[in-house]
Each structure stands twice: as C-alpha cells, then as structure tokens.
Amino acid sequence: MRRLFKIPVVLLFAFVPTFIYGQAISLEYCKQRVRQNHPIGPNATITDSIACLKGKNLKNEWLPQLNLNGQATYQSDAIKLDMLLPDTFQKPIGFSKKTIETDRDQYKVWLDATQLIYDGGLNKARREFSDLSYKSDVFSAKSDINKVLDQTTQLYYSIILNRSNKKLVEVLINTYDTKLKQINSLISQGMMMESDRDNITVEVLKLNQQLFELDMLYKSLLANLSVLMGEQIGDSAKFDIPVINKPDSLQMSRPDLAALDAKQEALQYSEKIYKAQRMPKLSAFAQAGYGKPGLNMLSTSFDPYYIIGLNFKWNIFDWNNSARERSIARMQAVMINNQRSAVENNIQISINNSKSRIVQLENAVVTDAKIVELRSSIARRSADRLDKGLISSTDFINDLNAEMQAKLNLEMHKVQLMQEQSNLQSIYGVY
C-alpha cells in the first residue's frame, strides 16, 4: 500500500510553484527540477506502481477463485413420473395410477471454488512477459524525460549566450558614450564636425535597440525554462557556466535502446505464452449450495448439497492459431532488431557529426581569440587616430564594430562548444 501513495504525493509537489530570484542557478539544478516537476516526470513512478499491481494480479491466479451465484427460474415443463402404487384402502388390495411431478419454480444459491493445479507454464510466462514489458515502459519514460532535458540544456546555453552578448553590447555602449564626451569637447574646439557625433549617436541608438531585443529574448527564454522546471525564475537570477568533463571514453547508456531490447526479449516470452496456452490445464473444483431442488431432482423441498472434483482441459486443435501467433512474434522481433540497427546507425552518425563539430568549434575558439586580440589593437589605434583627427568617425565605428563582432563570435563559439560537448554526452545517454 505504501507504493500506491507515492503517486498523489509526487503529483501534488509537482504543481507547487517556487520562485528563484537573484541566486545562482546551475544546469544540473535545472535538470533536477525538470525531473521532479515536469508533468511526465512522475511517469516512471506510476509505471512502477502499475507493474506492481499487474504482478500481484498474476500471482493471485494461483489462489483459489471463489464465486457466489444465485438463480431463480420458472420452467414450462418439469419431470413427471406415472407410477402404479398399491391402494391399501381397497379390499382386496389393488393398484391405482399416481403421477409425481417436480415443481416448475426452482431456486438455487451456490458457491463455486476453483484451485488451479497445473497450467502448462502459462502463468510464469505471463509474469515474465509482464516484467519485461514493465522494463520497456520504464525505459520509454526515461527516454521521454531525456528529450525534455535536451530542451532544458538548449534553453540554458541560449540564456548564457544571451547574457554574454548583453555584457558585450553594454561595454560597447559605454565605449561610445565615453567617446561622445570626447567628441563634444573636440567639436567645441572646432577640431571635429557635428556629423561625427551624429554617426556615433546613431550607433548608440542601434545598440540600445539591440540591448532591448536581447532583454526581450531573455525574458522569453526564462519563461520557457520556468515552464519546464515548474518554478518561476526571476530576471536577476545568475546562471553558472557549466563545467563539462571530457572523459576519455563514453559508455552508451540510452534508454531508447534499452526499451527496444526489453521489447525484443518480451516477445520471446510471448511465444512461450502462445505455446503454454495449448498445454493441458488441470484444476480442482468444489461447489456447495442450497436450493429447490438440490441434487435430487424429484425433491420439492429446499435441500443443501455439494460437489467436489477435478477439471481437465486440453485444447488439442486450434486450427494453427497458436503457431501463427508465434510466427507473428518472431517477425515482430525481427522488426524490432531492424529498428534497433537503424537507431544505432543514426546514433553513430550523430556521434560523428558531434565530434567533428567539437573539433571545428575548438579551432574556432582559438582563432577567434587571436582575431579579438588583433581587432582590439586596431580599435585602440583607431580611437587614438580619431582623437587626433586623422580618421573619420565612420572609420572608427567600423573598427569598433569589427572588434565587437569578433568578441561576439568568440563568445558564441565558446557557448556552442560547451553545448556541443553536452550534446555529445546526451547522444551517449549521459545526463
């Protein structure tokens, strides 16, 4: 009974809202909350309870089966006996014809008890089949929640990239604001034109617009992540940068493959079920009742009665239905094996693509770092030349935007690298 009370408790806590404001959040914490609060999270627990109940029902088939029955009937005809009986009132003694007829209204209440003695291994095969079906359902539930975890990971890295881009845009805005103050001073000295100030002002407006778009996207990402986690995340929450461990070798641990393996093994026991259904069945039975008539059909009174015995049943010919069912099970096993091979091929393709993508991103990060260093140097020289009036504000803006784009590319590739490393672990089934 304790197992049955787990379900409502889990479902109750799944809908209790919680709030996160200003505290640090990790990717692992987000995944943990998704497992606990997502609507499909309790499915594994529910599947476990269902399997437990099914197992108890199958075990109970070996217990005595009791049925209480009742019946009241009226029949159009009844047993009738015509007999010649001696008439003692006649002198000398003679014989007279007498008719004996049972009542046409009959009443009966009885208790049937049946005990299975031998079933040809049918119950055992059904229990083993049920256990493997349960494993398949559990692995399928894990596969479903893993898909939600992949969504969570994607949202998490999108948030990190969004916040990183916002910081870079804010730094660039501050740089332009500082430069505007210098330009205003130079304009008052007649060393620059107002068009130079206007060009930079336009860039600041564009960056503020970009900042607004990043904030709106951030709110959308937070809202989506909050839905998956089952708790409200405030705008001030801090997201930790995940530390991705790169093991030398990852072991395949995918629940979808395990579910297919369990299904294929279950089909083997389904063949045993079809075979056991053709085996002889032996059971003992007992019947005790009270009715009119009892076992004596000529009685017109209510009498108790009982019957005990053995029941034997053997389906000696089923028009090859069982053989065809076993053939279907074998063909279904072949189909599952083919499906597993197709899944393995797709997994290997995904692994190859992910590893190649990781190498590309690692190279991109190294190259981007060099580009950022060069672009920053160019931007610094450009700022000095602008102050000396050697270049226009347009040239300065182009150089500064190029530095900004290089930094955005570097941050984007860093986040994409971490995300791809997480994706590779997910492909192997490591969460």
Complete DSSP assignment for 206-242: HHHHHHHHHHHHHHHHHHHHHHHHTSEE-TT-EEPPP
Bridge partners of 132, per DSSP, are none
Average pLDDT of the segment spanning 340-347: 96
pLDDT at 19 over 60: no
Average pLDDT of the segment spanning 7-12: 38
pLDDT digits (tens, 9 = 90+) for 112-162: 999 999 998 999 899 989 888 888 988 998 999 999 999 999 999 999 999
**Helix residue ranges per DSSP H, 38-121:** 43-59
Q: Please report which confidence band the pLDDT of residue 10 belongs to, taking 50, 70 and 90 as the band edges.
A: very low
pLDDT at 353 over 60: yes
Bridge partners of 161, per DSSP, are none
Q: Are 166 and 214 in contact (CB under 8 A)?
A: yes
Among 123-132, 347-356, 399-408, the minimum mean pLDDT is found in 123-132
Q: Where are the beta strands (DSSP E) in 57-126?
A: 65-74, 80-87, 94-101, 105-118
Distance CA 113, CA 109 (A): 14
Residue 86, CB-side half-sphere exposure with 13 Å CA sphere: 4
Q: Which two tokens stand for residue 27?
A: 């990717």
What pLDDT is attached to residue 90?
A: 64
pLDDT digits (tens, 9 = 90+) for 90-109: 666 666 777 778 888 999 99
Q: Are 120 and 279 in contact (CB under 8 A)?
A: yes
Distance CA 155, CA 138 (A): 26
Q: Which two tokens stand for residue 215?
A: 């904030």
What pLDDT is attached to residue 17?
A: 47
Among candidates 99, 95, 77, which has minimal Cα distance to 86? Answer: 95
What pLDDT is attached to residue 91?
A: 67
Which residue type sits at 316?
I
Cα–Cα distances (Å) from 154 to 149, 159, 422, in that order, read 9, 9, 10
Bridge partners of 309, per DSSP, are 285
What pLDDT is attached to residue 93?
A: 67
Interacting residues of 40 by C-beta distance below 8 A, sequence separation 6+: 141, 144, 145, 148
Distance CA 195, CA 199 (A): 6
Q: Are 417 and 354 in contact (CB under 8 A)?
A: no
pLDDT digits (tens, 9 = 90+) for 404-425: 999 999 999 999 999 999 999 9
pLDDT at 6 over 50: no
Distance CA 403, CA 397 (A): 10
Q: What share of the chain is helix, strand, coil (3-state, %, to 5)?
A: 60, 15, 20
What pLDDT is attached to residue 298?
A: 80
Is the Cα dihedral 375, 381, 387, 393 positive or negative? Answer: negative
Average pLDDT of the segment spanning 219-243: 92
Q: What percent of the chain has pLDDT over 90?
A: 57
pLDDT digits (tens, 9 = 90+) for 177-212: 988 888 888 777 777 788 888 988 999 999 999 999
pLDDT at 379 over 90: yes
Q: What pTM was computed for the model?
A: 0.78
Q: Are 162 and 216 in contact (CB under 8 A)?
A: no
Among 36-45, 133-142, 304-313, the minimum mean pLDDT is found in 36-45
Which residue type sits at 110?
W
Q: Which two tokens stand for residue 276?
A: 């056991």
Q: What percent of the chain has pLDDT over 70?
A: 92
